[in-house]
Amino acid sequence: MRKVAALLAFGCFAVAPVVAAPVLYGEAHLSVNKFSQLNDGELRMESHNSLIGLKGSEDLDHGVKFIYKVEFGYDTTERNNDTTNASTDNAATFTDRDQWLGFASQEWGVIRLGTVSTGYKSSGAALDPLYNTVFEQRGYLGMQSSLHAGNGVDGGRSTNTIRIDTIARQGFKFTGSYSLGEQQGNTQALGVRYERNALKFNIDYLNSRSKSATALKFGVGYAVTPQFRLSFQHEGADNVLFDGGVDVERHAADLGSIDTVYKVDMSYIMGNSAWVLAYGVQSGYSRSYLLAWNYKFSSKTDIYAGYGNKGFDRQGIKSDAIFAFGLRHKF
């Protein structure tokens, strides 16, 4: 009887789905910044996209996996709801980030449902050598549009969204998403990616029914040598999609309509160091340039420093310079 029970137990274990243990991961990131105009020119310490999350998978039938991710952002420089320091805004330091469920297959690709980073955002991140730093192109310097940042059906992290990514064939892959606006109108997006050898490019299209607006983006990256890399990106849209990233509080009286955003950058790698030079334009609003240095102690720990300048096309608005030093560690 014991042998029969043992055989049955072994059989159940052998056919049961293989569940991978959840993986705990995250990033701690802070910087010391000084703007010439923003924040009244104060020297500040800030957190940038520090995060913690869990992700995992379960093997199902026919080569399909169930996958999931639950991720939160946190602040490395402030306490949660700190009431002892009058200079803080008492906002919670934990915020929602990507949180989704889905399925993956080596035959057809990946489908995710929930709060998902959009394909539009992902392709821009792939062409930004300083992504998720103070100097990231979607940030204050405005070298990429506001569609790469923010939340909601038209944000870079899109809520109530279904996203599909095909597997790569001959270097090409496709991405599509549908975001439920919940009485505000839905948003659809399509993208094409190509990556082979030293070349990669993307085309992204977005249609927002809630704002009756569309956007079209083209980007290309090329490694001239393993050390020297170039990238270019051009975005065009109905201005209601791009104006969301403008600092309305500072510039409300002089707010322009942004319908074009483009950037060009180059990076040169020397050992563990990389130098980045970038220039970007928000048509009718601002022009920015950047020089930064990044050093990798390891694949998980790096530091960076740099100078950026944002000049405004509106009369009476002073240009803003930024000096920053950052440190981050992934775990």
| Distance from C-alpha of 224 to C-alpha of 205, rounded to nearest angstrom | 28
Residue 13 has pLDDT above 60, yes or no: no
pLDDT at 154: 84
For residue 193, what are the CA distances in angstroms to 147, 165, 229? 18, 10, 18
Residue 234 has pLDDT above 90, yes or no: yes
pLDDT at 246: 61
Q: How big is the chain, counted in residues?
A: 331
Element containing residue 64 per DSSP (H, E): strand 64-73
Residue 322 has pLDDT above 90, yes or no: yes
Element containing residue 121 per DSSP (H, E): helix 119-126
pLDDT at 102: 97
Residue 280 has pLDDT above 90, yes or no: yes
pLDDT at 12: 42
Name which of 286, 302, 284 is nearest 294 in CA terms: 302
| Distance from C-alpha of 306 to C-alpha of 290, rounded to nearest angstrom | 7
pLDDT at 237: 92
Share of the chain above pLDDT 70, in %: 85
For residue 166, give the amino acid letter: T
**Residues 217 and 202 sit within 8 Å (Cβ to Cβ):** yes
Name which of 89, 135, 177, 115 is nearest 292 in CA terms: 135
pLDDT at 312: 86
Residue 26 has pLDDT above 70, yes or no: yes
Q: What number is the average pLDDT over the span 2-30?
A: 62
Tens-place pLDDT, residues 91-123: 557 788 999 999 999 999 999 999 999 999 999
pLDDT at 57: 95
Strand partners, 222: 199, 230
Residue 88 has pLDDT above 50, yes or no: no
Strand partners, 99: 70, 115
| Distance from C-alpha of 131 to C-alpha of 139, rounded to nearest angstrom | 9
All structural domains of the chain, each given as residue ranges with its CATH number in brackets, are 17-330 (2.40.160.10)
What is the DSSP secondary-structure string of 316-327?
Answer: T---EEEEEEEE
What is the DSSP secondary-structure string of 190-250?
Answer: EEEEEEETTEEEEEEEEEETTTTEEEEEEEEEEESSSSEEEEEEEEEE-HHHHGGGS-HHH
> pTM for this structure?
0.85
Q: What angle do CA 150, 152, 158 make, to 5 degrees?
A: 85
Residue 17 has pLDDT above 60, yes or no: no
Higher pLDDT, 43 or 256: 43
Higher pLDDT, 152 or 55: 55
Residue 237 in tokens:
């849209």
**Residues 158 and 96 sit within 8 Å (Cβ to Cβ):** no
Residue 281 has pLDDT above 60, yes or no: yes
For residue 68, give the amino acid letter: Y
Per-residue pLDDT band at 39 (split at 50, 70, 90): confident
Question: What does pLDDT average to over the chain?
Answer: 86
Name which of 140, 142, 130 is nearest 281 in CA terms: 142
Residue 192 in tokens:
């094409």
What is the DSSP secondary-structure string of 152-186?
Answer: STTSSEEEEEEEEEEPPBTTEEEEEEEE--SSS--
Per-residue pLDDT band at 245 (split at 50, 70, 90): low
Element containing residue 10 per DSSP (H, E): helix 2-15
Per-residue pLDDT band at 5 (split at 50, 70, 90): very low
Phi, psi of 109 (to 5 degrees): 135, -145
